[in-house]
Structures are given as C-alpha cells and as structure tokens.
A = this chain, B = another copy of it.
Amino acid sequence: MSATEMVMETIRSESRLVDVAMRDDLERLAPEVDGLLLEILQYCLFNGGKRIRPLLVVLAARICGRCGPEIYRLARAFEYLHAATLMHDDVIDDADTRRGKPAVHIRFGTVAAILTGDFLHARSMAIVGSLAGTESLNVFSGAAGKMVDGEFLQMRNAACFNLSEEDYQQAILGKTGNLISAACEVGALWAEAGNKERAALRDYGIYLGCAFQMIDDLLDYQGDRGKTGKKVGNDLAEGKMTLPLILTVQHADRQDRDRLQAIVGDETGRRQGLEEVCGLIAKYDGFTMTRTRAEQMGALALAQLDIFPDETCAQEKAVMQGLVNFVLKREK
C-alpha cells in the first residue's frame, strides 16, 4: 500500500467510525426531538463530508498515546460544530448548494437552518465539556468565538481591495485554522499530553488549516465543478479578496491593477469578469504563488511532527504527514 493509499484508507475507515458515533447520537435523540429537526440533522450531517476535523481529534489523541472508543464520541462534536457553522454560513452567503446538494436553508427554509445550527452548536459544546473537560471546552468554544470574529473581519476585508497577506492570514485562521487546530489540541488534551506535544499539535492544526483554506481559495478559481460540487468564481462574485487575487494585485502593473479594481468593485460585473481575472492572475503567477504559500504552510505543519518519536508513533505520524499532502493535492 502506498503512503497515499494508507492515508485514504485511514480517512475512510476512521470516518466510518465517526459516522457510527453520530448515528448512535441521532438514534438516542430521536425520541426526544421534533421529527423535522431530526430529518435536517440527518440531511446535513451525512452528506459526504470528509470528516477531517474528527479524524484529527482521533489522530492527535493516538499520537499522544491514548485511544479507545470514547474518542469517536468526542470527535463527532467537531463535525457538529463544523456543520453548524456551514449551515449559518450558507444562510449568510445565501449559497444555493453544499457539496452538490441544496443547502439546508434552501431545502428546509432559513428558520430551520438557523435553529438546527443552534442545536448542533449547543450539543457540540456539551459533548466536549463532558468528555474532554473544562480546558478543552475553552479551546473549543474559543475556536467557535474566533470563527465568528473571523467572519466579522472578512466582512470588513470585503470592502478592501488592497488587502495585505497578513489580513488574509488572520481571516483564514479565524475561518478554518482555529477549529482544525482546536481538533488537534483537544485530541491532545483528551490524551493528557504534555505541553510540548499539545503545542506542537495545535500548531500543526493551524498550519494544516491555513494550507487547507489556501487550496480552497485556489479551487474557487480553478476547481472542476464535477469534482468540487461548487461553481467556480464564488469568491470573486462576492467581492472577496483571497490569496490568488491579493498576490496578483501586489505584483500587477498599474494598468492591470486598475483593471482588477474596476472588476472587483463592480458588483454586477464580477461574474462576467471571471475569465479576465483568471487571465490576469495567471499572467502574474498568482495561482502558482498561492500554491507555493500553501506548500510552505504544509511544510510548517510537517515540521511540528518532528517531536513525536518514529519508534512509537510511526503510523500516526505517517497518516498525519499524509494528510498534509492530501490537503495540498486535493481537487475537491
């Protein structure tokens, strides 16, 4: 089995176990909650997600030397909070689809989407508090708070054509990096890891999350809709300044920069401007530079794993290394 195959197989088998834990939970909830709420939970939780966040909880705990079936009950909280966030995000952005299916608010209405998000939010907090203790809850709810703060930052950034890489970095940290990092840190806390291991895993998560988001932002321009299930050009259509565009603006000559600003600043014209913007990004190597930045993040993530000894952690390390490559190479 190649390294990639092993990673993929681990992702598949672990995500099945996470799914089992989530199905158990819904079964337990069934007699207590409204039928429609249950239907929406089924719909939003079992939609082909890759379960990266729960997987990281499991891997982080295991690389710190602890495993056991309880970890899947803890890990599902990260999928719950992630799903809650996506649901509210889709309401906010009025996105039509999610992973190729109608978004929850399209299928069940906005009211139901807001409420189901709140339900998952509360349940996720209770799970982390119960199974992993107060310090983990602080990390977890802190990440939830920072995600909100990141959205506010993004709203402010949307109006700003001359966004710096640092602002972008902070925004993607809020949006993606913090929760992925929290998954790793809570896994470490559950395993009662030392401070050094805890910090290394937290940083691994931060770098992995940032690499993930950078590739996401790249796929928003270059992705294949058949694979991603998403239209390309969403970020541009919303006037979002993401890394490919930011780097291009930094390197473009005056004439091209003015042209980009005119397109981005024109709410109705952005959709039609996609091809031209892609051409300009390519002209200034904006796509290549974005990929390079993501690879740098990936390298930083890998470096965090050095403190874990090969003798005892070989398999977990291999999967966590493989995950970095998976994130960098993903096409959806």
Contact = CB atoms under 8 A, between A and B. Distances in A.
A167 to B, nearest CB: 12
B118 A121 contact: yes
A313 interface: no
A169 B261 CA distance: 57
Contacts of A141: 122-123, 125-126, 129
A116 interface: yes
Contact of A115 (B116, B123, B148, B156): B148
Interface stretch (A32-40, A264-272, A296-304): A32-40
Interface stretch (A130-138, A199-207, A228-236, A251-259): A130-138
A145 interface: yes
A142 interface: yes
Given A34-B153, A111-B92, A126 B138 contact: yes
Residue with the greatest number of chain B CB neighbours at <10 A, chosen from A33, A91, A137 = A137
A149 interface: yes
A144 B122 contact: yes
A137 B126 CA distance: 6
A326 interface: no
A159 interface: no
Contacts of A33: 145, 149, 152
Residue with the greatest number of chain B CB neighbours at <10 A, chosen from A117, A121, A123, A144 = A121
Contact of A148 (B116, B142, B151): B116
Interface string A78-95: 000000110010011000
Contact of A114 (B92, B126, B153): B92
Dominant secondary structure at the A interface: helix
A30 interface: no
Contacts of A32: 149
A149 B92 contact: no
A119 interface: yes
B149 A34 contact: yes
Contacts of A148: 37, 115-116, 118-119, 122
A155 interface: yes
Nearest to A111: B92
Given A114-B92, A114-B114, A138-B130, A37 B125 contact: no
A155 to B, nearest CB: 7
8 contacts: A85-B118, A88-B118, A111-B151, A118-B121, A118-B148, A121-B144, A126-B145, A129-B134
